[in-house]
Amino acid sequence: MGHTATAQAGSGGLTATEHRLANGLRVVLSEDHLTPVAAVCLWYDVGSRHEVKGRTGLAHLFEHLMFQGSKQVQGNGHFELVQGAGGSLNGTTSFERTNYFETMPAHQLELALWLEADRMGSLLAALDEESMENQRDVVKNERRQRYDNVPYGTAFEKLTALSYPEGHPYHHTPIGSMADLDAATLEDARTFFRTYYAPNNAVLSVVGDIDPEQTLAWIEKYFGSIPQHDGKQPPRDGTLPDVHGAEHREVVEEEVPARALMAAYRLPADGTRACDAADLALTVLGGGESSRLYNRLVRRDRTAVAAGFGLLRLAGAPSLGWLDVKTSGDVEVPVIEAAVDEELARFAEEGPTDEEMERAQAQLEREWLDRLGTVAGRADELCRYAVLFGDPQLALTAVGRVLEVTADEVREIAAARLRPDNRAVLVYEPVAADDTGDEAADAAEGDAQEDEAGK
């Protein structure tokens, strides 16, 4: 069992209270007076998994439209007012949810609440063809910039499509296809809003230097009269068998700088102890520069320039264990693949050493401390656990659950899931320059705007 960095790791002293307005809006508040800032986070329980055939990318395009004004907010007023108040803001869309967030100087909290309420209740008063056409172009350029114009940029999309079968709600990624982005209409956007943007389909969290009583009164004042509605259908079922049963493989011949082996292993859904065990297994095998794959491929065999595992946690479908290896020099992919398979098989047999468990738990613990160390991070995690698992308090105890997992559980999950017949594989073979596109990684979300340039 790993030791902990703080007396109550991660949750140390943090508390949250829960409330529900008459219209169904769930509210989570958490006080922290160390810095005069307050984070507002609003999760709508809608993501790309709710999209229908022919309209991929609509949830994310819609997220952009949420910044184009509402009844009392002109044009880009949402950005202008928050930034003019010394705040920062953005929105992102993933498979399972759409979130909007503002971090404000504490004395400007009420403004952020007013703004979120205005667009939750009255977006359609301002939504028009002009914004729709403009943001369609912006999102298409976002797709080009983040996926189509960078080496390996469409790998995430390709592996996702291999991992979830045709017709599965997670078969396509939130950015959507160019054709579907072109096909979306203003009426689609209106229907989307009427279906999913309701107080009873959202969780609002406010974290930081706040007066909870006053904050709740403001929330009641601004959000309380927004009518609930019940047009939402549950997303299509994302349940799949625990394992693929056979490998899925695609070879991509593109103008990329080096050969690459990428794979996605099917893993337990988020919110389970088995998912935490898988997280630890992936950390031991491919997290950081003391992991088994890094030591084997980069340090000893010297066949790879980079090698690692990541975990994409998903609650409504199997999670994905994400392998990414870029080869060194002229090394061929089968050499890498044989070494990876050997390491995974050995790990499934032996399990982690005590020291490996300690390292992996220390790494995951620090990641949690980082996430809960800012008011914005804490607000987002409270929403996440409220929306996906029905209980925001689970955010404050998550790190404790990771530290309880045993080495046996880690070995068991690796043996059951980290197998060649339980993965989708993408192999990149470089070709000379012609008319192919290029690209990068980290692609599970789209944002409303790029990070502001620092000064």
Partner 1 sequence: MTDTGIDVTMDFHPQPRAGTAKPWAFPAPERTTLDNGLTVLRCDRPGQQVVAVEINLEAPLEAEPQAIEGVATIMARAFSEGTDKHSAEEFAAELERCGATFDANAGHPGVRLSLEVPVSRLAKALGLVADALRAPAFADSEVKRLVRNRLDEIPHELANPARRAAVQLFKELFPADSRMSRPRQGSEESVERIDAAAVRAFYDAHVRPVATTAVVVGDLSGTDLDAILADTLGRWTGSGAESRPVPPVSADDTGRVVIVDRPGAVQTQLLIGRVGPDRHDRVWPAQVLGSYCLGGTLTSRLDRVLREEKGYTYGVRSSAQVLRSAPDGTGVSLIAIQGSVDTESTGPALEDLWTVLRTLSAEGLTDAERDVAVQNLVGVAPLRYETAAAVADTLADQVEQHLPDDFQAQLYRRLAETGTVEATAAAVSAYPVDRLVTVLVGDAAQIAEPVKALGIGEVSVVTG
Catalytic residues: 63
Between residue 293 and residue 312, which ones bind partner 1 under the rule CB under 8 A?
Answer: 295, 298-299, 302, 305
Size of the site for partner 1 (CB under 8 A): 109
| 226 interacts with partner 1 by CB under 8 A | yes
Both tokens of 171, joined, read 């078969």
| Mask for 392-431, x = binds partner 1 (CB under 8 A) | ----------------------------------------
The secondary structure of 48-102, three-state, reads HHHCCCCCCCHHHHHHHHCCCCECCECCCHHHHHHHHCCCEEEEEECCCCEEEEE
Q: Which helix (H) or strand (E) holds 214?
A: helix 212-223
Q: Which is nearer to partner 1, 171 or 296 (CB)?
A: 296
Options 1, 17, 52, 137; binder of partner 1; rule CB under 8 A: 137
| 209 interacts with partner 1 by CB under 8 A | yes
Contact 268, 300 (CB under 8 A): no
Q: Give the three-state DSSP class for 104.
A: strand
Phi/psi class of residue 112: alpha, beta or left (left: φ > 0; alpha: ψ in -120 to 50)?
Answer: alpha
Options 11, 99, 135, 215; binder of partner 1; rule CB under 8 A: 135
Any residues with CB less than 8 A from the CB of 443 and at least 6 apart, and which?
146, 147, 153, 156, 157, 173, 175
Distance separating alpha carbons of residues 215 and 117, to the nearest angstrom? 13
Between residue 318 and residue 347, which ones bind partner 1 under the rule CB under 8 A?
Answer: 326, 328-329
Q: Which is nearer to partner 1, 150 or 345 (CB)?
A: 150
| 438 interacts with partner 1 by CB under 8 A | yes
Q: Which is nearer to partner 1, 311 or 315 (CB)?
A: 311
Q: Whole-number minimum distance, CB 169 to partner 1, in Å? A: 26
| 167 interacts with partner 1 by CB under 8 A | no
Q: Which is nearer to partner 1, 68 or 422 (CB)?
A: 68
Contact 336, 297 (CB under 8 A): yes
| 380 interacts with partner 1 by CB under 8 A | no
Q: Give the three-state DSSP class for 377.
A: helix
Q: Whole-number minimum distance, CB 73 to partner 1, in Å? A: 9
